[in-house]
A and B are shown apart, each in its own frame.
Chain A
Amino acid sequence: MSGDAHDRRDGCASCGKGGRRNFMLKAGVGLMGAGSIAVGAPILGFLLGPVEGAHGLSWIDLGAIDQYPVGQTRYGEFTEPNASPIDGMTSRAGCWIRRLAAGQFQVFSVNCAHLGCPVRWFAQSKLFLCPCHGGAYYEDGSRASGPPPRGLFEYPWRIEAGRLHIQAGVLPGIETPTP
């Protein structure tokens, strides 16, 4: 209290109307702004970290190509390449592997292109069907009927030393390019 009174008297006497108080207020606001940026930058960086895409795609081994018969579509499972210790079973993922010819594959994401539910392959009718909204796809992944706006998402693939590899690590989305 007495400090306030002293400041006021002191300020009025030496610097005219509120001069020193004004300066101190401005300095305080400026310093607090700098402090806010200093502490806010790491907070924002921490929260926005995932947006920067710290990790991307990697090649994953889906096993020897001999286990995939030509002309058939088989279910495959793999572990996401960037899994962290707290991911548990959610680091696992499924895919549909179609072998068209000896060295020709298509590998589809299980996620429906509509809203991401897992599609199931029916070998008899040669269709992928989605349990959520009834999206249907032909065996080449192209849209057959229902609400999906595009065909199934495909993973880029390659054969290395007789083993099938796909490039995965990111949940496919509407803009995932078809390889």
Chain B
Amino acid sequence: MSGLIRSATSAAAATARWLEDRTGIGALIGPVMTHKVPKSARWWYVFGSATLMFFMIQVVTGICLATVYAPDAATAWDNLNYINTAVPYGWLLRAIHAWSSNAMIIMMMLHMAQVFLHATYKFPREMTWIVGVVLCLVTLALSFTGQVMRWDQDAYWGLGIGASIADRIPLVGNQIRALVLGDQIISGATLSRFFTLHVFVLPGIAIGLVGLHLMLVLRHGISEMPAASPPVDRATYRPGFEERVHKGGVPFWPDAAKRDLIFCALALLGLVAIALWQGPIGPGGIPDPTIIETNPRPDLPFLWIFGVVSLIPPATEAFAMLVAPVFLILGLFAIPFLGNEGDRRPSKRPGMVLAVVLVTTCIGVLTYEGATSPWSPDMNAWSAYETPHDELAGRTPLERAGAVVIQFAQCRNCHQIGGLGGERGPALDDVATRLSYDQLVRQVQQGGGNMPAFGKNLPRAQTEAVALYMSTLHPKLERQDEIAAEAFAGERTPDEPAAQSPR
């Protein structure tokens, strides 16, 4: 038995030797795997590997999904439901593909933040940073085109938003929109185009750029932790770095790679756990453009952009949509040339640390705002929500008529009462403390701020009833306070309802 194993082992070794002799793959890869890297490159350095791992998962699961999915606008939505419900492991593969996309973006952002904080973009690694920025843009484009593959209402109306933005480009907006949509409307041609981008063009570019990115990492070596190297000086950096790595470095495999391995393995297990727990994303509502009872939202990576275009003043929109992204991208490209030399330690670059904190906070807050979107009217509030009892009790019939008008004139689609309703305008629960009866009439009739004018839309009597009712909307404690004050003055007993007349 042992003789059998021995001869099998020696046969395998002989085969390996033959393969190595005829191909030279080992000679090619061996030095790459075992090249020396700085000893200080430890846990901070795992995010790039994790990004690459999630990209490879996207490639593999994407190829699997493409064996069933067909980019046909007439059937894509049914096809996805078929994958979700009938294809073995189809739902899990869709879940892994969707959540791995988000995970890849998160790892990419962490990788980018680490590189920025440690200033590894400085001489001689400028091109590594620039290729990374392009990879970041390609990854976001993959995410957006992936959302289109879902071919549901969010995909359809998301394309409409993209088309509207393209349309605003001066002079050639219409042509660019047609080029993106592949048609004069959002149609089957649009889905085919985005499928081609998502499955052929963008992954092809990404694979090429990942190769280039890794080649540059090998060419310039993995950077040391900032504290382990003297300030970067173009004249002396390269020989110094090579000497330090030659003396104190460790082989990439296994010394540095073992941390990548552990982190990536944990991230992979986490991904599968999230995919099992959350399931696939969509498809949402059927993409029938005549179904207008819809509330389109972008995917997680784009919620912050949704927040930006909602919160900026309308007058600045053309700048924010068309000019700012160009400057943002040019700014990212310029970073390694603006700080090409000098100390890499974050403690010596407090402005850069502040920038990371600021950008992270902004994206975090805007993502939260995008997810909750308080600027969106609550389209069903007017017919769905009750008026709180204590904001009706003790009111006169005319005041109650005003409360009814508030309901059926859709005021609550934008204004909350009792915590229910839209948040586009201010809540009305204490509106009487801010505006007098006359001001309320004026505001309803003429609008202003962000409010339409209802002068032509509501009869005068209804407007007056609304204003009369709103004049009774004081904060609870304030009303109690008034009642107590009046009781103290002997005007009435505390059990009596408060005097409501505004005039």
Taking the closest CB of chain A, its distance from the CB of B339, in whole angstroms, is: 37
Q: How far is the CA of A154 from the CA of B182 in the complex (A)?
A: 23
Q: Give residues 75-92 of B contacting A (CB, 8 Å).
A: 75
CA distance in complex: A52, B157 (Å): 24
Cα separation A174 to B165 with both chains bound (whole Å): 9
Known: A124-B408, A147-B317. A118 touches B184 (CB 8 A): no
Using CB atoms, name the residue of chain A closest to B448. Answer: A145
Most buried by B among A126, A134, A136: A134
Scoring B residues 297 to 325 as 1 if CB is less than 8 Å from chain A, else 0, what string do you get? 00000000000011000100100000000
Q: How many A-B residue pairs have CB under 8 A?
A: 190
For B378, give the chain A residue with the smallest CB separation: A131
Give the CA-CA distance A97 to B38 in the complex, in Å. 70
Q: Give the docked Cα–Cα distance between A77 and B379 (Å).
A: 21
B residues in contact with A93, CB < 8 Å: 185, 289-290
Chain A residues with CB under 8 Å of B16's CB are none
* Interface presence of B178 (CB below 8 A): yes
Residue of A at shortest CB range from B374?
A134
A114 & B377 in contact (Cβ 8 Å cutoff): no
Cα distance A144–B377 in the bound complex, in angstroms: 14
Complex: chain B residue closest to A149, CB-CB: B314
Instruction: Assess the B424–A134 pair: CB atoms within 8 A.
Output: yes
- CB nearest to B72 among chain A residues: A86
Task: List residues 146-198 of chain B with CB under 8 A from any CB of chain A.
Answer: 156-157, 160-161, 163-165, 167-168, 173-175, 177-179, 181-190, 192
Give Cα distance in the complex from A122 to B185, angstroms: 26
Give bound CA distance, A116 to B179, whole Å. Answer: 18
List residues of chain B with CB within 8 A of the CB of A174.
164, 167-168, 173
Interface members, chain A 136-179 (any B CB < 8 Å): 136, 138-139, 144-149, 169-171, 173-175
Across the interface, name the chain B residue whose C-beta is closest to A55: B184
Beta-carbon contact of B174 and A175 below 8 Å: yes
Cβ 8 A contact of B454, one of A110, A111, A115, A125 = A125
Residue of B nearest to A88 (CB): B74
Given contacts A88-B73, A94-B289, A173-B173, contact A115 B182 (CB under 8 A): no
How far, in Å, is A168 (CB) from chain B's closest CB? 9
Is B295 on the interface with A (CB-CB < 8 A)?
Answer: yes
Contact A117 B157 (CB under 8 A): yes
Complex CA distance for A145 and B375, rounded to whole angstroms: 12
Q: Which residues of B are found within 8 Å of A117, using beta-carbon distances?
A: 157, 160-161, 296
A144 to B455, CA, bound (A): 12
Q: Give the contacts of A94-138 with B (CB-CB under 8 A).
A: 94, 110-111, 114-120, 122, 124-127, 129-134, 136, 138
Residue of B nearest to A113 (CB): B164
Q: Give the residues in chain B near A122, CB-CB below 8 Å.
A: 382, 410, 413
* Cα of A87 to Cα of B76 in the assembled complex, Å: 11
> How many A residues are at the interface, by size bracket?
35 or more
Tell which of B74, B173, B310, B317 touches A89, judged by Cβ atoms closer than 8 Å: B74
The reply to whether the CB of A92 lies closer than 8 angstroms to some CB of chain B is yes
Q: Min CB distance, A109 to chain B, in Å?
A: 11
The answer for the CA separation of A82 and B181 in the assembled complex, in Å, is 14
Contacts of A53 in B (CB 8 A): 178, 184
Q: Which residue of B lies closest to A145 (CB)?
A: B452
Hey, what's the 0/1 contact readout for A47-65 against B, CB within 8 Å counting as 1?
Answer: 1101101011000000000
Least CB distance, A72 to chain B, in whole angstroms? 14
Interface bits B431-449 vs A (CB < 8 Å: 1, else 0): 0000000000000000100
B404 to chain A, nearest CB (A): 11
Q: Which residue of A lies closest to B405 (CB)?
A: A124
A116, A124, A145, A170: the one within 8 Å of B184 (CB): A170
Q: Mark A72-91, 1 if CB is under 8 A from B, else 0.
A: 00010100101111111111
Which B residues are closer than 8 A to A by beta carbons? Answer: 72-75, 156-157, 160-161, 163-165, 167-168, 173-175, 177-179, 181-190, 192, 286-290, 292-296, 309-310, 314, 317, 375-377, 379, 382, 408-411, 413-414, 422, 424, 447, 450-454, 456-458
A sample of 10 cross-chain residue pairs with beta-carbon separation below 8 angstroms, ordered by A number, consists of: A51-B178, A55-B184, A85-B188, A88-B74, A90-B156, A92-B290, A115-B160, A116-B160, A134-B376, A134-B414
Q: A126-B457, A134-B414, A173-B174 are in contact. List 8 more A-B contacts (CB 8 A).
A: A47-B179, A82-B185, A90-B288, A127-B452, A133-B376, A147-B309, A169-B184, A175-B174
